[in-house]
Amino acid sequence: MAVEVVLLDFWASMFGMRVRIALAEKGIKYEYREEDLRNKSDLLLQMNPVHKKIPVLIHNGKPICESLIIVQYIDEVWNDKSPLLPSDPYKRAQARFWADFIDKKVYDTGRKLWSTKGEEHEAAKKEFLEILKTLEGELGEKPYFGGETFGFADVAFVTFSSWFYALETFGEFSMEAEHPKIFAWAKRCMQKESVAKTLPDQQKVYEFVLGMRKRLLGE
């Protein structure tokens, strides 16, 4: 049976990257379609009428939206290799909790690092470092958030590592100096082909963020 998998995405989206990594982990062939976020395709608007956002996975013509929901779907359908979620329900709940924490905290606060100034920016810097401290605490001495193997929470967070240079620059901190465990974990993940081949170059992302900041703050 010909399996048709299409991904509507945007190259710099850490949410889209999660799906790309999951697809690569499972060895799934798919068609990648780059969206212009300022001129969204009819297909995107048709497949995700509720949020009108990428990523959208289209599997045999049927859409699945929201990156963490897509990753869980991929894990459940292509369940023959590279399990991303643990089999134990309690560990699964913990994995979901941390992926949800990343969704709730990292993006929004990270965004404030490059899109705000003055007091708001100072507050965001402080908050972001607290978030990294919390994640480092959760990682502990484990090689991955998932434990011995790369898993759901790793997929959820590792895509932000392509934004590290941008976040460090605007956040005025050094990941390596201040959060060495996260830095080491990100490097460990980059040893995996699925991650290395998916994540864009940090400098390229930085230039993209610079462009967004200029448009937003009019600099």
Where does this chain bind a copy of itself (CB under 8 A)? 50, 59, 62, 64-66, 69-70, 72-73, 76-77, 89-90, 92-93, 96-97, 100-101, 134
- From CA 116, how far away is CA 126, in angstroms rounded? 13
Angle of helix 107-115 relative to helix 202-217, nearest 10 degrees?
60
Q: How far is the CB of 50 from a copy of itself (least distance, A)?
A: 6
Return the number of the residue (145 or 170) whose C-beta is nearest a copy of itself: 145
Is the Cβ of residue 65 or residue 167 nearer to a copy of itself in the bound state? 65
**Least distance between a copy of itself and beta carbon 206 (Å):** 29
**Distance in Å, CB of 165 to a copy of itself, minimum:** 27
Could you tell me which residues are beta bridge partners of residue 8? Answer: 33, 56
Could you give the CA distance from residue 160 to residue 107 in angstroms, rounded to a whole number?
8
**Minimum CB separation from a copy of itself for residue 140, in Å?**
15
**Between 70 and 139, whose beta carbon lies closer to a copy of itself?**
70
72: Cβ contacts below 8 Å, ≥ 6 apart: 84, 85, 152
Q: Which is nearer to a copy of itself, 48 or 162 (CB)?
A: 48
Q: From CA 175, how far away is CA 192, in angstroms rounded?
A: 20
Q: Which amino acid is at 3?
A: V
Give the up-direction half-sphere exposure of residue 114: CA atoms within 13 A in the CB hemisphere: 24
- Closer residue to a copy of itself in complex, CB, 104/187: 104
CB of 212 to a copy of itself, least distance (A): 22
- SS3 call for 160: helix
Cβ–Cβ < 8 Å for 129, 178 = yes
Which residue lies nearer to a copy of itself by CB, 89 or 140?
89
Please report how close the Cβ of residue 118 comes to a copy of itself at its closest, in angstroms: 24
Give the end-to-end CA distance of the chain in Å, rounded to a whole number: 53
**Element spanning 6, H or E:** strand 5-9
